[in-house]
């Protein structure tokens, strides 16, 4: 393989990651994530599954146009490859090419299952038919695109000897990358090392121009270990997602693989092109857009990743940082120092600090952020970086507004029934006021909102945590809701319908207000999805064109 000391990072947050229940992103959100992945330095962005829906095809096309081409200030060598996934059939491959062809460096990624279980029960194909299909479809993809990736789905449970035959045919038909997926997270690191080592040594036609890739799932908690084992065996592309999101238990985490290679460089002696100082911000961005909260003990990007409470640990840290930290927080973009910003701070100071944190705002966006900042500063003495991240997330990382919170009042306690009165601005500009009684202040608030919005849904998950310390802490709330009116989406891999889940995020020093914002945020996503993203249909159903 070429570039033996360099590992390509193939990010599939926008494809495999988005398949997590509740992680669906809008086209605008996917484009913003793609721009940030390019800044992060990923080599390949798998932008989506164009055959899944017209909206997904358009999102991939837009990413190919806007992210997949060099700008005046960008080195062409830094422009990522834009990949689209396709099943091994002509229709999918046609749609993938339609979407990615606009990129400077397009890639078609096609796949077909090779395990006995999948061939018998899902594909209902004989092994000979699978080999023939792979040969034909890789050649078909190659007729459009020089850069073709092939994946034998469920390779972790496939017969290695059969894999050698299938992969040999893929190479003969023009595949330039062979991706080996542990689709169901079944293998152990030793097994996966042997699988990759065997493929490199025994696949007919293997040569220097072929990149072997690994794509591991975390069903048994070994995705990162398996990925690193595959890299040690000779794989030079790692397929990962931000925060490890993905089907079932998720994918290999980008941050874990990259920081393992960097922190243990003497062991691996390998490099990536990732700007690790952007990892923390990227994690926050994806978490906010998907509504999937990063657990505090998550490696690298969790809230507790660089926190120390035990007395012995604190004593060691005070004497020397390396006693209990194998990485510097700054290396992944975690700034532990407090930002001394308050109500007397000006726009220039705010702009500079946001720029240091990686947020480039235009004048209109800065005006909005500054207004929110001043509002928060009136309630808090000191504004920290975490406060600013939550503020930016709440102001900008949200869907187009259908309904917005215009005001609210809540009464609760032991002397009476919790009651909430909410005032919402509707899509036509009308102000609606509704009161409701609930079992608690949040329940009452959500019932009042339901009384205005009138969208049937089920609250699946409600999470609240303080962003910063102290009694004036900014609170963040994340919710996940599910439509109860039969709104479903098609899973392009299984061709089965599933009920979609929507995430919402809100932040405020008043946790009930944050709860209301998060719920409205999720409801807006559900409403837009139910209208199939069509602005004309939103106009018909809700009386106004969305901005």
Distance CA 501, CA 530 (A): 12
Do 75 and 191 lie in one domain? The reply is yes
Check residues 60 and 29 and name the one with the higher pLDDT.
Answer: 60
As for how many domains the chain has, the answer is: 4
Do 109 and 171 lie in one domain? The reply is yes
Place of tokens 């209109």: 364
The whole domain housing 528 covers 404-542
For residue 249, the number of C-alpha atoms closer than 13 Å in the C-beta half-sphere is 15
User: In the prediction, which pLDDT does 21 show?
Assistant: 76
Residue range 304-361, pLDDT digits in tens = 776 643 444 445 544 556 665 677 777 787 765 434 566 667 787 788 778 877 777 8
Query: 425 in helix, strand or coil?
Result: strand
Distance CA 133, CA 396 (A): 45
Q: Categorize the per-residue pLDDT at 59 as very low, low, confident or very high, splitting at 50, 70 and 90.
A: very high
Do 229 and 353 lie in one domain? The reply is no
Do 391 and 471 lie in one domain? The reply is no
Distance CA 522, CA 536 (A): 21
In a domain, 523, yes or no: yes
Least-confidence region, from 37-51, 110-124, 498-512: 498-512
215 touches 181 (CB < 8 A):
yes
Best-predicted range by mean pLDDT among 89-103, 293-307, 463-477?
89-103
In a domain, 300, yes or no: no
Do 228 and 354 lie in one domain? The reply is no
Do 453 and 363 lie in one domain? The reply is no
Check residues 45 and 337 and name the one with the higher pLDDT.
Answer: 45
In a domain, 3, yes or no: no
Do 55 and 12 lie in one domain? The reply is yes
Q: Categorize the per-residue pLDDT at 514 as very low, low, confident or very high, splitting at 50, 70 and 90.
A: very high
In a domain, 390, yes or no: yes
In 3-state terms the chain splits into helix, strand, coil percentages (rounded to 5) of: 45, 20, 35
Q: Is the pLDDT of residue 434 over 60?
A: yes
Average pLDDT for the chain: 85
| Domain finish residue from 396, 416, 443 | 396
User: In the prediction, which pLDDT does 22 show?
Assistant: 74
Distance CA 500, CA 481 (A): 9
Sequence-ordered alpha helix ranges (H) in 160-309: 160-172, 189-202, 223-232, 254-263, 265-268, 279-290
Distance CA 199, CA 219 (A): 23
In a domain, 33, yes or no: yes
CATH number at residue 66: 3.20.20.70
Q: What is the pTM of this model?
A: 0.72
Q: Is the pLDDT of residue 60 over 50?
A: yes
Least-confidence region, from 121-130, 249-258, 349-358, 527-536: 527-536
Least-confidence region, from 97-111, 212-226, 440-454, 473-487: 473-487
In a domain, 372, yes or no: yes
In a domain, 47, yes or no: yes
Do 383 and 410 lie in one domain? The reply is no
The kind and range of the H/E element at 115 are none
Do 260 and 310 lie in one domain? The reply is no
User: In the prediction, which pLDDT does 347 show?
Assistant: 80
| Domain finish residue from 379, 396, 413 | 396
Q: Is the pLDDT of residue 399 over 70?
A: no
Residue range 282-304, pLDDT digits in tens = 998 999 888 888 888 899 988 77
DSSP 8-state class, residue 80: P
Do 322 and 466 lie in one domain? The reply is no
In a domain, 297, yes or no: no
Do 105 and 176 lie in one domain? The reply is yes
Least-confidence region, from 372-386, 396-410, 488-502: 488-502
Check residues 88 and 390 and name the one with the higher pLDDT.
Answer: 88
76 touches 70 (CB < 8 A):
yes
Q: Give the CA distances from residue 393 to residues 236, 245, 352, 390, 397, in Å, rounded to whole numbers and listed in that order.
A: 35, 19, 18, 5, 5
| Domain finish residue from 262, 290, 318 | 290
Do 373 and 272 lie in one domain? The reply is no
The percent of residues above 70 in pLDDT, for the chain, comes to 83
CATH number at residue 517: 3.30.160.270
């Amino acid at each position: 393989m070429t570039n033996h000391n360099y590992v390509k990072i193939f990010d599939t947050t926008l494809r495999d990651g988005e398949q997590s229940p509740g992680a669906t992103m809008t086209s605008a959100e996917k484009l913003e994530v793609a721009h940030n992945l390019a800044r992060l330095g990923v080599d390949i962005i798998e932008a989506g599954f164009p055959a899944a829906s017209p909206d997904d095809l358009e999102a991939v096309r837009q990413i190919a146009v806007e992210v997949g081409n060099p700008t005046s200030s960008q080195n062409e060598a830094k422009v990522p490859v834009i990949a689209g996934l396709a099943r091994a059939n002509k229709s999918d491959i046609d749609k993938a090419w339609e979407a990615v062809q606009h990129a400077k460096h397009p890639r078609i990624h096609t796949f077909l299952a090779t395990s006995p279980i999948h061939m018998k029960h899902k594909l209902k194909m004989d092994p000979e038919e699978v080999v023939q299909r792979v040969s034909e479809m890789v050649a078909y993809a190659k007729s459009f695109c020089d850069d073709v990736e092939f994946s034998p789905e469920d390779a972790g449970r496939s017969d290695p000897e059969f894999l050698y035959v299938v992969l040999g045919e893929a190479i003969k038909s023009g595949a330039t990358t062979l991706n080996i997926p542990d689709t169901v997270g079944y293998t152990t690191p030793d097994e996966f090392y042997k699988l990759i080592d065997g493929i490199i040594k025994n696949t007919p036609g293997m040569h220097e121009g072929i990149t072997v890739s690994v794509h591991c799932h975390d069903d048994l908690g070994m995705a990162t270990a398996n990925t690193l084992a595959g890299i040690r065996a000779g794989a030079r592309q790692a397929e990962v997602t931000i925060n490890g999101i993905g089907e079932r238990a998720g994918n290999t985490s980008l941050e874990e693989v990259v920081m393992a290679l960097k922190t243990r460089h003497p062991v691996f002696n390998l490099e990536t092109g990732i700007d690790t100082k952007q990892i923390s911000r990227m994690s926050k961005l994806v978490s906010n857009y998907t509504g999937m909260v990063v657990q505090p003990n998550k490696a690298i990007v969790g809230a507790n990743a660089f926190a120390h409470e035990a007395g012995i640990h604190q004593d060691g840290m005070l004497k020397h940082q390396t006693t209990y930290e194998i990485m510097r927080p700054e290396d992944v973009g975690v700034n532990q120092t407090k930002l001394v910003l308050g109500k007397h701070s000006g726009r220039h100071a705010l702009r500079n600090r946001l720029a240091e944190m990686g947020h480039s705002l235009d004048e209109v966006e800065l005006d909005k952020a500054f207004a929110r900042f001043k509002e928060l500063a009136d309630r808090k003495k000191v504004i920290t970086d975490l406060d600013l991240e939550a503020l930016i997330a709440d102001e900008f990382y949200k869907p187009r507004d259908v309904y917005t919170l215009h005001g609210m009042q809540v009464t609760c306690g032991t002397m009476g029934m919790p009651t909430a009165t909410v005032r919402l601005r509707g899509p036509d500009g009308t102000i609606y006021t509704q009161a409701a009684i609930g079992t608690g202040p949040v329940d009452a608030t959500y019932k009042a909102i339901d009384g205005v919005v009138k969208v049937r849904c089920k609250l699946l998950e409600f999470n609240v945590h303080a962003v910063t310390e102290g009694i004036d802490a900014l609170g963040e709330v994340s919710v996940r809701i599910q439509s109860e009116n039969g709104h479903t989406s098609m899973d392009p891999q299984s061709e089965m319908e599933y009920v979609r889940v929507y995430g919402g995020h809100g932040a405020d020093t008043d946790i009930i207000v944050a709860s209301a914002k998060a719920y409205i945020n999720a409801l807006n996503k559900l409403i837009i999805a139910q209208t199939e993203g069509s602005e004309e249909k939103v106009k018909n159903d809700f009386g106004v064109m969305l901005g």
